[in-house]
Homo-oligomer: A and B are copies of this chain.
Amino acid sequence: MHSFDELLAYFEDNLKEQKFINEPEELYAPISYTLALGGKRIRPVLTLMACDIFGGNYKDALPQAIAIEMFHNFTLIHDDIMDNAPIRRGRATVYKKWSPNIAILSGDTLFAYAYQFAQKADKNIVQDILSVFNKTAIEVCEGQQYDLNFETRNDVSVEEYVKMIRLKTAVLFGASLKIGSIIGGADKDESEKLYNFALNIGLGFQLKDDLLDTFGDESIFGKKTGGDILTNKKTFLFLKALELAEEDTKKQLLKYYSSTEYNDEDKIERVKSIFSKLSVDTITETEIDKYFKDGIKFLESMNISRENKDELYKLAFKMIHRSN
């Protein structure tokens, strides 16, 4: 099989070929800009990889790999409006660089293009592919809505949080592999196992995001830590801390998350110290490891070669045990 890096290089080369130089320029420039910003490209490579694993020609899965990357970027463009996020991958977000209206509309257009690519498949499997794609698109929207709802709620449980990140983040990893496996010719049972593998790894991936944002080593993480604390984001760490804390500590924590009397450094230090005292960092690590192991169980139960399992294992390990 082909390695992650080989497939990544193939994908990048071909994504570059997609030129959005159409008119009106205001609509297409933000699309080119967003797709060129980069990112890890894990999702599209997963699609190529799954096709490869089941004996398909990975090049046959290119349109769907592009569709998934386009869909992912569409969600980022719209999420950045909703989250008032001025910076993404070190550059101004579309709504900030252009305007919210242009961000809405270029996002919509990118979504339509994603579908244009998604349907480029053999007619015997196109509806299976689109069913996964549609279901996932709807779930990702649901996840984002839960995330928005959580901002104004004070009674979010850890369980609800996990449901939210499953929808907002993990299902797209699942869909990326599942769609690739359909193109590669996998049977339903194997596709489903691969999906569940990715779902668990995706959950671990997101919890790792939460952990790094607060406890990452800044020199490796590549940006300042504490962003989630400063924006009062209800992450796994925060919700777990609330769940574990005694009444006094809980009050303290809620005060830090609602008061403006602390300066940034001070607030981050105080919250981190509560997290550490409650061992929330270790607990999160353990939880991530649990998801990793649950994912690997699905992988091991699959009827594919050792070599293929190892390649997916390596990728899952990299996604979860990363430092940035």
Contact = CB atoms under 8 A, between A and B. Distances in A.
Contacts of A144: 105
A109 interface: yes
Contacts of A304: none
Interface string A93-111: 0000000111011011101
A105 B78 contact: yes
Contact of A126 (B27, B111, B126, B134): B126
Contacts of A22: 142
Interface in A59-75: none
Contact of A134 (B26, B78, B116): B116
A72 to B, nearest CB: 13
Given A78-B105, A119-B127, A142 B24 contact: yes
A3 interface: no
Contacts of A116: 131, 134-135, 138
B127 A123 contact: yes
A317 interface: no
B115 A134 contact: yes
A259 interface: no
Contact of A141 (B23, B109, B142): B109
Nearest to A141: B109
16 contacts: A78-B108, A81-B101, A102-B145, A104-B104, A105-B145, A108-B108, A108-B141, A109-B142, A111-B111, A113-B134, A116-B131, A116-B135, A119-B130, A123-B123, A126-B127, A130-B130
Contacts of A105: 78, 82, 141, 144-145, 148
A108 to B, nearest CB: 5
A68 to B, nearest CB: 14
Nearest to A83: B101
Contacts of A81: 101, 104
B127 A27 contact: no
Ranked 3 nearest A-B pairs via Cβ: A112-B137, A27-B145, A109-B141
B134 A101 contact: no
Interface string A134-161: 1101100110111011000000000000
A27 B142 contact: yes
A138 B113 contact: yes
A124 interface: yes
Contacts of A104: 78, 81-82, 104
Contacts of A138: 109, 112-113, 116
A137 B108 CA distance: 9
Nearest to A123: B123
A149 B24 contact: yes
Contacts of A137: 112, 115
Given A26-B148, A78-B108, A126-B127, 7 more contacts: A81-B101, A82-B101, A105-B141, A109-B138, A116-B134, A119-B119, A119-B131
Interface in A17-31: 22-24, 26-27
Contacts of A82: 101, 104-105
